[in-house]
């Protein structure tokens, strides 16, 4: 934690913004436990003071009962991540901040402690979450303006902003955030592609003319996606009907399972491939008896039913490839992989984004080496 946020951490405890029923996430096992402040106040406080992410809502509020739901939909992030992102945001006294994704309200309260509640606006799409956060902020004496609405629209009534921070994962950055920022303002956005689940925070600086924002990725992160940008996995049989494998083009590849699939939730190769083939989604099957199939689906509009599958086997040096449709997805992915290797296998820190009203460009090392997404 940077020294300039230490006082805020002490003065604004996360516990003051958590509900009585929480679901901490065990990073090692991937499991969620149910912890009630009423039934076990010591355990509740222990988790509130921990560096664990804590789910505070399941299934967009439709979930009831103490057991975890099907899909988490609101949370309190790891404090170490919160303060790392706040350090990247680099706020200064007197600046005005727009936050997208209020959650519990803790992040907004930390900003308000540094800048004053009158200089922080936060937007939350979920009405119940927004109401609870507003109540928590008011009780704590930080009457930040909490807007119940679509964060993609920003909040023009309080613009222009010196800083914009999103606490949800995005796949497209709305230009409204650039338009509502001052020249030289900073947008800090967790961003990724549908190819890979991992994200990285893009720190974009608004140009002097206000018609673009550009900057590098700063750190790997993992956030719940903005609700309107959640990915709906395509139905497999809509791409691969019965008998499709028999009619597909076939070939082989010497690329290995490890080279394509990586080794964790965030890998440099997966992030880079997503940047090079952003309109491809991929889904590795579970490995069984030394065999693993990795599927690829085209996402270039509703008419794109291109697909490919690579079947890796531990006892073979080459993998069998099947692909069909108007595109050859494996050829695209394989080409992207070789591009990544030829450029020194760059991680997120060598990539960046430039956002304009017309489109978004990804770039490597500098904006001169860029391509549209």
Supply the residues annotated as catalytic: 77
Residues 6+ away with beta carbon under 8 Å from 232: none
**What's the token pair of residue 74?**
């609101």
Instruction: Name the burial class of residue 267, with classes exposed (0-12), middle (13-18) and buried (19+) by CB atoms within 10 angstroms of its CB.
Output: middle
Residues 6+ away with beta carbon under 8 Å from 341: none
DSSP string of 71-107?
SEEEEE--HHHHHHHHHHH---TT--EEEE--TTSHH
> Strands 319-324, 307-313: parallel, antiparallel or unpaired by DSSP?
antiparallel
155 and 98 Cβ atoms separated by less than 8 Å: yes
Question: Residue 10's Cα: distance from chain center in Å?
Answer: 28
> Strands 291-298, 120-124: parallel, antiparallel or unpaired by DSSP?
unpaired
**What's the token pair of residue 369?**
């080496």
């Amino acid at each position: 934690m940077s020294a300039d946020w230490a006082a805020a951490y002490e003065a604004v405890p996360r516990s003051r913004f958590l509900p009585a029923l929480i679901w901490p996430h065990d990073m090692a096992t991937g499991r969620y436990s149910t912890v009630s402040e009423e039934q076990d106040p010591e355990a509740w406080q222990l988790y509130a003071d921990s560096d664990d992410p804590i789910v505070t809502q399941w299934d967009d509020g439709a979930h009831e009962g103490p057991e975890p739901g099907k899909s988490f939909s609101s949370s309190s992030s790891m404090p170490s991540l919160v303060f790392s992102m706040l350090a990247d945001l680099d706020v200064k006294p007197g600046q005005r901040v727009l936050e997208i994704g209020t959650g519990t309200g803790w992040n907004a309260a930390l900003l308000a402690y540094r800048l004053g509640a009158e200089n922080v606006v936060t937007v939350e799409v979920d009405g119940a979450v927004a109401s609870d956060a507003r109540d928590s902020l008011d009780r704590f004496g930080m009457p930040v303006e909490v807007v119940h609405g679509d964060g993609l629209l920003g909040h023009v009534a309080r613009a222009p902003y010196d800083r914009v921070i999103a606490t949800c994962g995005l796949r497209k950055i709305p230009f409204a955030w650039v338009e509502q920022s001052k020249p030289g303002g900073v947008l800090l956005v967790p961003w990724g592609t549908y190819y890979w689940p991992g994200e990285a925070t893009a720190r974009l600086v608004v140009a002097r003319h206000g018609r673009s924002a550009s900057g590098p990725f700063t750190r790997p992160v993992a956030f719940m996606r903005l609700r309107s940008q959640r990915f709906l996995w395509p139905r497999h049989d809509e791409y691969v009907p019965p008998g499709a494998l028999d009619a597909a083009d076939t070939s082989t590849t010497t690329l290995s399972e490890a080279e394509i699939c990586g080794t964790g939730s965030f890998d440099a190769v997966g992030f880079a491939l997503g940047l090079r083939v952003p309109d491809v989604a991929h889904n590795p099957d579970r490995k069984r008896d030394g065999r693993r199939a990795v599927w690829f689906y085209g996402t270039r509009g509703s008419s794109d039913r291109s697909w490919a599958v690579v079947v890796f086997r531990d006892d073979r040096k080459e993998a069998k490839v099947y692909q069909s449709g108007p595109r050859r997805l494996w050829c695209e992915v394989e080409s992207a992989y070789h591009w990544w290797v030829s450029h020194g296998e760059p991680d997120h820190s060598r990539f960046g984004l430039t956002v304009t009203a017309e489109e978004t460009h990804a770039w490597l090392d500098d904006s001169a080496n860029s391509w549209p997404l």
